[in-house]
Structure 1
Amino acid sequence: MRQGTAGDLDLDKLYAARLQAARARPYLATALFALHAVESRQVPTMAVDRHWRCYVSPAFVHRTPVEELASVWVHEVSHLLRDHHGRSDRVARERGLSGRAERLRMNIAADCEINDDVFGDGLVRPEGAVLPAALRLPEGGLMEDYLRLFGLGPLTQDLAWLDCGSGADGLERAWDLGPGGANGLAPHEQDAVRFRVAEGIRGRPGSAPRGWRRWAEEAFHPPQPWRELLGAAVRSAASGSGAGEDYTYGRPSRRSASVPGAVLPSLRRRPPRVCVVVDTSGSVSDAELGSALLEVAAIARAVGGRRDLVGVVSCDAAAGAVLPLCREEGLGLIGGGGTDLRAGFAAALRSRPRPDVVVVLTDGQTPWPRERPSCRTVVGLFRREGSRRSWDEDDPDHVPDTPPPWARVVTVG
């Protein structure tokens, strides 16, 4: 779509379209009215940033019928509700994707995820809307799935104009007002909007398409509390003294202002290294070990997908070797004997390079180190019901020591 010439932004027409969108999709009303419209002659049509601002071309509003504008409102807010910007950033890190061409692919894939079931029932399909069938892709997929199934080529050559903004693919645009700009939503406000929308969809499941019902089920389940604590510990370790390991001129130091004519480098901080000690003693069930593997994957995501920064050590009464998570063969957890995680702590702290954070996943039936480790520690206790928490193969009346006060203790599962 080429941007033509028009006068000032017709807010009456734009907001009438938003009202029509809310009537057609009442469960999205909270999100639609949370968007703040910003006039921009740089955007080709309408676009969103990750801070929930909607940039609107006056020419596009001038030439587009209200019915189509309503559909575009729904399309753009769908990018934000489904966190396409955050997911695009994660995919880019995990698969080593970079450049505007790859971000265009992400925008196209995100559009396919939205458009396969968003139109109809009061919403017309806008001109130029990208559908999976046009790219010979199956319906019902997620953005991440579609990215594996197509590349830029003859089927996408007419989509070079497509630009739903940084809220769709994570790449900042020249027109973005940024985090410090006016009328953006803070992360907790964005989460509150998503929760309200998911709540509305779950309350009336028959009125929402399958893709939205799937999204609501996932959005409605809050993150595991222990993962939030781990994330806080990881961020704290990254900002602590000694967390920087090299200098960079990519962002000059603030001290440069005090040295006229010189550009000083700033300290580049690296993501923290994490060592995970997994309790593999006989009192830990296979289901709990499976849960531990899932948590290890979550820890890798918490450090930005850098699997090379995560090590894993199995420990029952003795500790195994610290295995890097990035090795090609599968990660095996070995053990089955008694429990003494002091050996696991010692192995983690002996590893080189030394970890910034130690995470221990255990049922809690172990002696603990007397002295506080030299790095931050998070203890994840497998959830147990009733008396199982104090179960012991040799002494049924045994009550294990609680984790020491220097550890951040959370429940896993």
Structure 2
Amino acid sequence: MVASDEVPTMGVDRYWRCYVSPGFVDRTPVAELAAVWVHEVAHLLRDHHGRAELLPPADRRDRHRVNVAQDCEINDDLIADGLPLPAGRMEPRLFGLPEGQLFEAYLPALPPSPVTHDCGSGAHGQPSDWESGDRAGPAGVGAVEAEALRRHTAEAMRAHARARGALPGGWKRWADEVLEPTVDWRRALAGAVRDAAAWASGAIDYTYRRPSRRSAALRGIVLPSLRRPLPRVAVVIDTSGSMGETEIAAALGEVTGVLREVGVRGNRVTVLACDADVQAVSRVTATGQITLGGGGGTDMRVGIAAALAGPERPSVVVVLTDGLTPWPDETPSCRLVAALVGPSAPAPPPWIETVRVT
């Protein structure tokens, strides 16, 4: 707990510190104060800041709208549990939306920044002015301890439900997901590709092809300007006999959608169909332009090597495969993401970023 005159009511940071306004405590009935505290803790238990980081950039920038969507996810469960939240609370019904959904489902239906709403980086993921940062203030909670707290709380909720009756729907779904997790492979794949593309586009370098505007102030001297290259992406598709067309189409559709979202399109995306050899190479803007071929053995090393040997070397390589393939012996000079089709696909080497497509 951190007492702060800067926070309007209560808020949490991503390190599980709860900032509380002493004035808000003085003027708020104890029952409402407890309900607000449970609300803020719910942001942390449901990992809202981690989930917010997987949103498209335009949504992440609208932190207030994200926060409202998150409050809608939480508050319908707290109200169902009889907690007396203060007036002005955000609920799905205020926006004509159904109860019991996740904030990612509410977000597209909300108007841009409907209110100025800020529960802190423990909710929307972006530091607020009243937060003390990662080093200042009392020690925060680390990632491992946070997961242990979530699991302990989920187990306590299940025990309570067995002894005294059902939980509100949102809390039951959350507890089930913590104790028996199912990974949303689409979100994980989107996050991995987006992170890799952001890493590649961050490789800023100097170039003399467009001299710096500061050169005009220095007679006889030409200064370089900074260049932030857009990432080139290669998608290597396993077209061996063990891969089904349905799985290939589903995974490939997600990859191309993510690439469009992060601004990688046109001739910056190359798709290589590969079994034991590269069968087809396409530059695409949509999945319908992809040429597939193969059906024989499997060796994704050939596809990766062909992608890196091309005239325009990619900075990100995504491999869609069932995992029944040898892998390179060492890390290539690019980001490599393996999208493994099927829950039983064998894992690649640990240095490869891996997402399981189910």
Per the normalisation by structure 1, the TM-score is 0.62
Pairing 1:292-311 to 2, within 5 Å after superposition: 292-293=251-252, 296=255
Secondary structure, aligned partner of 1:207: coil
Where in structure 2 are there 5+ consecutive unaligned residues? 207-223
Q: 1:74 to 1:281 in 2, by over 3 A?
A: same
Deviations 1:147-197 (A, max 9, x none): 2223159xx5xx44x432222222322211111224211222222222222
1:91 is the counterpart of 2:47 = no
Q: Would you say the 8 A contact 1:372–1:406 is kept in 2?
A: no
Q: Would you say the 8 A contact 1:103–1:169 is kept in 2?
A: yes
Deviations 1:193-225 (A, max 9, x none): 222223334455553211112223333417699
Q: Rg: which structure is higher?
A: 1
1:46 offset after TM fit, Å? 0.7
Q: Would you say the 8 A contact 1:275–1:310 is kept in 2?
A: yes
Pairing 1:134-213 to 2, within 5 Å after superposition: 134-151=94-111, 156=114, 159-160=115-116, 162-182=117-137, 183-203=139-159, 205=161, 206-213=165-172
Q: 1:110 to 1:376 in 2, by over 3 A?
A: closer
1:143 offset after TM fit, Å? 1.8
Q: Would you say the 8 A contact 1:318–1:340 is kept in 2?
A: no
Deviations 1:331-381 (A, max 9, x none): 757234223535423431134642345454434666777998555656666
Query: Counterpart in 1 of 2:309?
Result: 350
1:44 is the counterpart of 2:8 = yes
**Alpha-carbon distance in structure 2 between the residues aligned to 1:313 and 1:201:** 49
Q: 1:114 to 1:297 in 2, by over 3 A?
A: farther
Q: Which residue identity does 2:71 align to in structure 1?
A: D
- Count of equivalent residues: 326
Q: Which residue identity does 2:54 align to in structure 1?
A: R
Q: Would you say the 8 A contact 1:361–1:379 is kept in 2?
A: yes
**Alpha-carbon distance in structure 2 between the residues aligned to 1:297 and 1:218:** 28
Q: Would you say the 8 A contact 1:280–1:333 is kept in 2?
A: no
1:92 offset after TM fit, Å? 4.7
Q: CA RMSD in A?
A: 4.6
Query: Counterpart in 2 of 1:318?
Result: 278
Q: Would you say the 8 A contact 1:133–1:139 is kept in 2?
A: yes
1:362 is the counterpart of 2:321 = yes
Q: Which residue identity does 1:74 align to in structure 2?
A: V
**Alpha-carbon distance in structure 2 between the residues aligned to 1:277 and 1:120:** 48
Match 1:105 to one of 65, 70, 74? 65
**Alpha-carbon distance in structure 2 between the residues aligned to 1:411 and 1:105:** 29
Secondary structure, aligned partner of 2:119: coil
1:215 is the counterpart of 2:174 = yes
Deviations 1:112-132 (A, max 9, x none): 111112125452232221222
Secondary structure, aligned partner of 2:205: strand
Q: Would you say the 8 A contact 2:11–2:19 is kept in 1?
A: yes
**Alpha-carbon distance in structure 2 between the residues aligned to 1:41 and 1:289:** 55
**Alpha-carbon distance in structure 2 between the residues aligned to 1:370 and 1:121:** 55
Per the normalisation by structure 2, the TM-score is 0.71
Query: Counterpart in 1 of 2:209?
Result: none
1:106 offset after TM fit, Å? 1.7
Query: Counterpart in 2 of 1:257?
Result: none
Q: 1:245 to 1:281 in 2, by over 3 A?
A: same
Q: 1:379 to 1:139 in 2, by over 3 A?
A: closer
Q: Would you say the 8 A contact 1:68–1:124 is kept in 2?
A: yes
Identity %: 46
**Alpha-carbon distance in structure 1 between the residues aligned to 2:318 and 2:326:** 16
**Alpha-carbon distance in structure 2 between the residues aligned to 1:83 and 1:269:** 32
Query: Counterpart in 1 of 2:43?
Result: 79
